Structure 1
Amino acid sequence: MEHPSRTRTITSQFDFATTLLRLHQTLQSHGVTIFADIDQRAAAQQAGTTLRPTQLILFGNPRGGTPAMQANPHAAVELPLRAVVWEDEQGTTHIDYQDAAGVLAAEYGLPQDHVAALAVLEPLLQGVAGLR
């Protein structure tokens, strides 16, 4: 499956439910606020259709994102951070996310010190997936 270059995928070592639980626990243990947890599969079922297990999590920490939005108000469209936990047809679970630090630096012209706090996303999600 193709996806934009700004979207990254990590394959989890765990099943869907465990990966989702680990994501919640990891975010909470790092003092990150979970703003929304959207069960996209349930929404599809309510609309009378089907979707593989897919859940969108919106999260962040104002200390990390606010400097980017102060420097460039347009950066707010990229924040809060988000990750999608989804299961493929073979039952393998994946975590999709965007490289927010890279996007904000490259596309919004923000200096590294304004996006450095957001660069922790990849290693954090690798830990969730059991790769660290």
Structure 2
Amino acid sequence: MFKSGLMIAAMVAGLSSTAMAEGPDKGIERVTSPLGVEEVDQRLRGALEERGLTLVAVVDHTANARSVDLELPATRTFIFGNPKVGTPFMQCQGSVALDLPQKMVLREADGAIYLEWNSPRYLAERHGLEACGLPLEKVAAVLNELAREAAGEGNQ
């Protein structure tokens, strides 16, 4: 029962991310890659490891859809983080645990490969973290670097 509940929660999270990405100015950052899903997947795993970030889980939404006889283009959610960075966010405002650890979605849509993630500035606004003196710009830069490296920008 726990496994099926986790799969449902993961599928809902993936659908929410996808739907929000379509709307303007919803705090979602995006990088497009000319590479295939498998190569971007491996590059993202490598980039996380290089930076000492813990990969908590990868949710394969496509496989989950297939398990109930539905179809979904390649869609994976990478859940990762660093407790030294995330804990101060949660100490500032516990509700940010809804959005941490960090997530990055790798998905195929409209003939393109996308990496998408929540902007730390959006999370700060959503959870009222502005007065906490958190390293939002540093976190934003790391997420941007991860996505660009995984997407193959400048490293092919």
Aligned match of 2:43 in 7, 12, 22?
22
CA RMSD of aligned residues (A): 1.8
Specify the SS of the correspondent of 1:82: strand
The answer as to 2:149 corresponding to 1:130 is no
Unaligned runs of 5+ residues in structure 1 are none
Equivalent position SS for 1:114: coil
Alignment of 1:1-132 (within 5 A): 2-3=22-23, 5-90=26-111, 92-99=112-119, 101-110=120-129, 111=131, 113-116=133-136, 117-119=138-140, 120-132=142-154
Moved over 4 A (4+): none
2:15 paired residue number: none
Shift of 1:106: 1.9
Q: CA deviation at 1:87?
A: 1.1
Cα contact 1:105–1:112 (8 A) shared by 2 = no
Task: Give the TM-score taking structure 2 as reference length.
Answer: 0.76
Q: Is the 8 A contact 2:92 2:132 kept in 1?
A: no
**Structure 1 or 2: larger helix share?**
2
**What do residues 35-73 of structure 1 show as CA deviations (whole Å, max 9, x unaligned)?**
111111011100001110111111100011111101111
Residue segments in structure 2 that go unaligned for 5+ positions in a row: 1-20
Give 2:12's aligned residue.
none
Partners of 2:39 and 2:132 lie apart in 1 by 34
Q: What is the rounded CA distance, in whole Å, between the counterparts of 1:16 and 1:75 in structure 2?
A: 29
Q: 1 CA distance for matches of 2:122 and 2:39?
A: 29
Percent of paired sites with the same residue: 30
TM-score of the pair, normalised by structure 1: 0.88
